[in-house]
């Protein structure tokens, strides 16, 4: 796959959404309440076809023992591990509220534990959590069950425990192996520790192992990041997520502890990106989309080749698009044509559940136009192509008339070699795949209307 030129990156590497949903979460409104979620759940339960569709579960564990300065996640820094026990008790209440609406035993094909650090929980607490979920839902034998792992909180014995609990996918947060960078972002973890854990995970037999990397962190240079890339490729994870660090201290307080004078400049970041792309391509990784790469035989790369790739709040997935139940503080759910998000504070989360109420504080009921545009954006994000007739038949529109303004913009992108567009279809080129978020943004009615993109990360 051709690597985009610096000129293209400079021109099209703008701020924009990651499109784990459309409309994006910043469009959720407080007028959408738990009552609306209850209505959507009732519609699912009463619809015979929907009952046959599996569920996806996301569980947010907000606790971390120490603060990583780059972090933009919703987390609670604490060394008081007894807080995990209380949190699980309230998670159980939330699960009970959902099963009261849906019934017990609905099939789940995808489960993801995120955070924070899910491995903040003890082995006993993780067993309790999985037992709770199995009592309430039926976990499909061929499902995807993943957990985010802080390498500092596990050893080979804990990894074996995770496998025994049913997890078949791991994601290790590495970010960078350079000691100076780790110290600058307050996340020190020796490379030897990660190498040992990867070896153990391979022996245990996890189906897929992901490593997260971040470029643009303080103290990073293209040369230092080359060394990290070499170590990562030596590990040869099944998947790699390469994120650009977005310095937004006005939004994320931990980032105020980062010395801005130590951040690499734009030229250095571009160099890190292009060298990373060359390294992954040279090592045989498939560019799945955006900032995700996978080995050719990984399920994600296979799904990309076969046109079965999907996208949800956990990112790219091989699982069919399905309703998502979000559990825990700040978790986002999707049921039918609605999105919902839980409260972001632990105190308010507990208070809602003490009252016997779902802790939903905002969300959105999608309009017909939202649904049309969501179909277009998700097709581009996952398949990289779109046959206009499929949208016309599904929504009874004339694509070229409905999206006349958007197609005019795309013709400009075609001149830059990012897309190929004619009267019947839209195809993202191999180079354009690196800018797929930018192509999708063309169809984002909300974004085109207000142009306020500063709240988003850069698209590369």
E-assigned strand segments in 41-188: 55-61, 63-64, 76-77, 106-115, 137-149, 169-175
Q: How far apart, in whole angstroms, are the C-alpha atoms of residue 295 and residue 280?
A: 10
CB atoms within 10 A of CB 450: 7
- Binding site listing for [4Fe-4S] cluster: 64, 68, 71
- Binding site listing for S-adenosyl-L-methionine: 58, 70-72, 115, 148, 175, 187, 212, 246, 332
Helix and strand tally (H, E) in the chain? 18, 19
From first CA to last CA, the distance across the chain in angstroms is 16
CB atoms within 10 A of CB 194: 21
Q: 419 phi and psi, to 5 degrees?
A: -140, 160
Do the beta carbons of residue 97 and residue 150 sit within 8 Å? no
- Binding site listing: 58, 64, 68, 70-72, 115, 148, 175, 187, 212, 246, 332
Could you tell me the two tokens for 460?
């590369």
Burial of 388 (0-12, 13-18, 19+ CB in 10 A): buried
Q: What does the longest C-alpha to C-alpha distance in the chain come to?
A: 61
Q: How far apart, in whole angstroms, are the C-alpha atoms of residue 286 and residue 293?
A: 5
């Amino acid at each position: 796959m051709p690597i985009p030129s610096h000129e293209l990156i400079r021109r099209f590497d703008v701020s924009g959404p990651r499109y784990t949903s459309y409309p994006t979460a910043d469009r959720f409104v407080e007028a959408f309440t738990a009552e609306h979620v209850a209505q959507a759940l009732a519609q699912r339960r009463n619809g015979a076809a929907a009952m046959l569709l599996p569920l996806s579960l996301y569980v947010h564990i907000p606790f971390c023992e120490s603060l990583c300065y780059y972090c933009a996640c919703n987390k609670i820094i604490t060394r008081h591990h007894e807080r995990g026990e209380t949190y699980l008790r309230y998670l159980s209440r939330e699960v009970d509220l959902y099963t009261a609406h849906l019934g017990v035993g609905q099939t789940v094909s995808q489960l993801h534990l995120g955070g924070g650090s899910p491995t903040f929980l003890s082995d006993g607490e993780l067993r309790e959590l999985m037992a709770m979920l199995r009592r309430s839902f039926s976990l499909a034998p061929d499902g995807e069950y993943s957990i985010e792992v802080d390498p500092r909180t596990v050893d080979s014995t804990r990894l074996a425990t995770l496998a025994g609990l049913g997890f078949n996918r791991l994601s290790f947060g590495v970010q960078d192996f350079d000691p100076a960078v780790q110290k600058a972002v307050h996340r020190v973890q020796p490379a030897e520790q990660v190498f040992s854990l990867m070896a153990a995970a391979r022996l245990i037999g996890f189906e897929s192992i992901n490593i997260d990397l971040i470029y643009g962190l303080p103290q990073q240079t293209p040369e230092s990041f080359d060394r990290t890339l070499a170590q990562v490729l030596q590990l040869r994870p099944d998947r790699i997520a390469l994120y650009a660090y977005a310095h937004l201290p006005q939004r994320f307080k931990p980032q105020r502890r980062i010395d801005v004078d130590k951040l690499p400049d734009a030229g250095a970041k571009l160099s890190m990106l292009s060298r990373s792309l060359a390294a992954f391509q040279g090592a045989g990784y498939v560019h799945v989309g955006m900032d995700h790469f996978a080995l050719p035989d990984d399920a994600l790369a296979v799904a990309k080749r076969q046109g079965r790739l999907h996208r949800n709040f956990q990112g790219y997935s091989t699982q069919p698009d399905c309703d998502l139940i979000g559990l825990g503080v700040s978790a986002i759910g999707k049921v039918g044509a609605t999105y919902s998000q839980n409260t972001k504070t632990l105190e308010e989360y507990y208070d809602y559940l003490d009252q016997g109420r779902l802790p939903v504080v905002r969300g959105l009921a999608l309009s017909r136009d939202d649904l049309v545009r969501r179909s277009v954006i998700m097709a581009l994000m996952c398949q990289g192509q779109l046959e206009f007739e499929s949208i016309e038949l599904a929504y009874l529109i004339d694509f070229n008339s409905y999206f006349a303004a958007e197609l005019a913009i795309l013709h400009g992108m075609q001149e830059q070699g990012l897309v190929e567009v004619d009267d019947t279809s839209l195809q993202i080129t191999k180079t354009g795949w690196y800018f797929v978020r930018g192509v999708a943004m063309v169809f984002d009615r909300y974004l085109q209307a207000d142009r306020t993109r500063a709240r988003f990360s850069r698209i590369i």
